[in-house]
Amino acid sequence: MTYTFKLARRLAVSRHLAMLSLLVLLAACSGDSTAPDTKPVSTTSDLAPLQISPRSITIEASQRVQFRGQIQDSTGAPIATRVAWEATGGTIDSTGTFWSSDPGTYRIIARRRWDSPVDISQPRHASRNDIDAWRAGRHRPGSTDTSIVQVVPFSPKLKRLAISPKPITIKAGSKYSFNVTGYVSKDSTVPVGVTWTATGGNIDPAGAYTAGTATGKFWVIASNTTGTLADTAAVTIAFSGSRNGRSLQLASVVLTPAQKTLATGTNLQYQAYGRTRGGDSVAVAVAFSATGGTITSGGLFTAGSKAGTFKVIARDSVSSLADTAQLTVTVPTAPSSSTPPPTTTTPTTWVAGGIPFGPFNLLDVSSTSLSGGTGPFTMSMDPYTASNIVSRINDARARGLRLMIAMTSGKHANYRTDGVFDITKWQAKMDTYNTPEIKRAIAAGVADGTIIGNEVMDEPQNTTPDNTWGPAGTMTKARVDGLCAYVKNMFPTLPAGVTHDHNAFEPQNSYYVCDYILSQYRWSKTKGDIAAFRDGGLALAARDHIGIAFSLNIIDGGQPSDPCPAGAGTRLGLCRMTPTEIRNWGMALGQAGCALTMWHYDASFMANSDYVRTFRDIRDKLAGTPGKACRRS
């Protein structure tokens, strides 16, 4: 019995004349009208079932969600396939992006497109039941799949979000699904649509998280559609013991550097990884400890004031295997403020210790214009491009400087579309750094202490017409957190931070991903005296469990006078900071934070002998102060 004969017999008993035209059209277009009675021999890929992701999801009206359809071979590897998309309501485009302005529950249908094109047009008078019945009998097994999407109204009374469960510990490579609840009061909840972001792995639009291969502590963040509310879940990824079905039993833990000599009060970044019995290197989650000084959970060691030989231990949290490094701490002889700076470009041993101190844009200054290539400074904060970042890291290392890099920062950078911040432009700039060479350079810079952090954004609260971020309300803590997450996905060991007054976004939610805030002081009644400003920053950092760095606006942040001191200049009604202001305020802020910067390098007055003496005094004081990591606690 031929396929054509069976088709005619089915049509003869059908009472739906509309289905007659639909089935004839589809049979003709499918190229199957002369198909034999028995099924043709199918390849493995033909028989692999099509699967939609996400399987089900809740979104808000007009929120867009990206659906994906794929098939897998017998090993679980994805097979390239073409997918045609349909929806029972709302709109879905050819890429699988769905949205609806009307609340309701809709079905998303993905249909694998075979080599022969199929006309999916449907007469308006064909019922949904008719179409579903045709799909069930006409399509090959595994060629369609369906997802459910619930569209809910936007809730203007939403007060907070709550992710569950949290915290969790999962194995590398495994999957876990998170849920989120919206609260309009303490006990009253509403369904909400959110945007998910994550570090340490990938997360789909419905909150299904797939852990990566690196072990450690990571974050999953749910933000509401306006970006004003967020909640975060901590995820600990543990060594799984297997990869691609092959045994990877951990044989040892390796801690680097194995042996090092360090000056009192200085920092050293330790790294740990595992080796399997087969000799492969794998990531491990370790707990660091030390017999002297202090060491953070991320492996940043700070030498104390006592000289001697100490041990640093890294212990795997799953297997309890450990490795030990030997560390010798010495007391260096720091130069006094009256000691002239070195005349060569060879960095001295003391510039790498303690709390880093220096201006913005120091690397833009020719080393020949500064004695010793650094002048009286131990750090610099600079903008970067993918073409210069490696050479600048190497230059800083040679000059004995530490860096707070700014790969995407600058409030006047071109990240706007129609006057509003466009995250795709920001991500495109960040993506230019995603190369093996740059990743190696940044990882090495973090490991040896050359790089202390990366600024993702400068003054997101700025609402002047020419700012990068757009009108007031465009940027929120939740959105800035998303930028930090983007950086940390690319560079897991690199601390990511943001520059703004520490109280700029209060009382918004805390940062959950960003590692530190760089808060800048200039004299004003609103900022208060220096002690109040410092203590406010420290209190916020303690509340949010983040690092705090401070900055001085030395260009136009001094107290006003009429006129300003000779040669001091004026801007915004304020004078340049005097040497006395810089010394007093710098000492107060510098010893409290993880770094002290100054806006910005200006040779017209920074070469003045009174200023140079002030900078040396601050440098020497901070070089002897135990360092702090610009990282979450």
Q: Give 394: exposed, middle or buried? Use CB within 10 Å, 0-12, 13-18, 19+.
A: middle
For the entire predicted model, the pTM comes to: 0.61
Distance spanning both ends of the chain, measured CA to CA: 74
CB-based contact 623:334 (threshold 8 Å) = yes
Are domains 3-152 and 160-238 of this chain identical in fold? Answer: yes
For the segment 7-22, the average pLDDT, to the nearest whole number, is: 41
CB-based contact 293:304 (threshold 8 Å) = yes
Phi, psi dihedral angles at 259 (to 5 degrees)? -150, 135
- Residue 51, SS3? strand
For the segment 230-243, the average pLDDT, to the nearest whole number, is: 73
Banded pLDDT at 429 (limits 50, 70, 90): very high
CA angle 174, 151, 182 (to 5 degrees): 65
Percent of the chain with pLDDT over 90: 32
For the segment 405-415, the average pLDDT, to the nearest whole number, is: 77
Q: What are the structure tokens assigned to 179, written together?
A: 């849920």
Banded pLDDT at 263 (limits 50, 70, 90): confident
Strand positions, DSSP E, 159-214? 160-164, 168-171, 175-177, 179-183, 189-190, 194-198, 201-203, 208-211
pLDDT at 343: 33
Is 3-152 assigned to CATH 3.40.50.300? no
Q: Residue type at 154? A: F
The per-residue pLDDT of the chain, averaged, comes to: 78
Question: Could you read off the pLDDT of 592-614 as tens digits, one per residue?
Answer: 999 999 988 888 778 888 999 99
Of the candidate ranges 53-67, 107-121, 230-244, the one whose mean pLDDT is the lowest: 107-121
For the segment 147-176, the average pLDDT, to the nearest whole number, is: 88
Distance between CA atoms of 497 and 515, rounded to whole angstroms? 5
Is 440 a residue whose pLDDT tops 70?
yes
Is 160-238 assigned to CATH 2.60.40.1080? yes
Region for residue 31 given its phi and psi (left: phi exceeds 0; alpha: psi -120 to 50; beta: otherwise): left
Q: What are the structure tokens assigned to 400, written together?
A: 């004995």
Domain covering 243-330 in this structure, CATH number: 2.60.40.10
Region for residue 535 given its phi and psi (left: phi exceeds 0; alpha: psi -120 to 50; beta: otherwise): alpha
pLDDT at 78: 72
In the chain, where the domains are located = 3-152, 160-238, 243-330, 417-623
Is 107 a residue whose pLDDT tops 90?
yes
Of the candidate ranges 6-10, 64-68, 472-476, the one whose mean pLDDT is the lowest: 6-10
CB-based contact 185:93 (threshold 8 Å) = no
496 or 506, which is more confident? 496
Strand positions, DSSP E, 409-449? 416-417, 420-421
Q: Is the dihedral of CA 433, 434, 440, 446 positive or negative?
A: positive
Banded pLDDT at 248 (limits 50, 70, 90): low
Q: Give 562: exposed, middle or buried? Use CB within 10 Å, 0-12, 13-18, 19+.
A: exposed
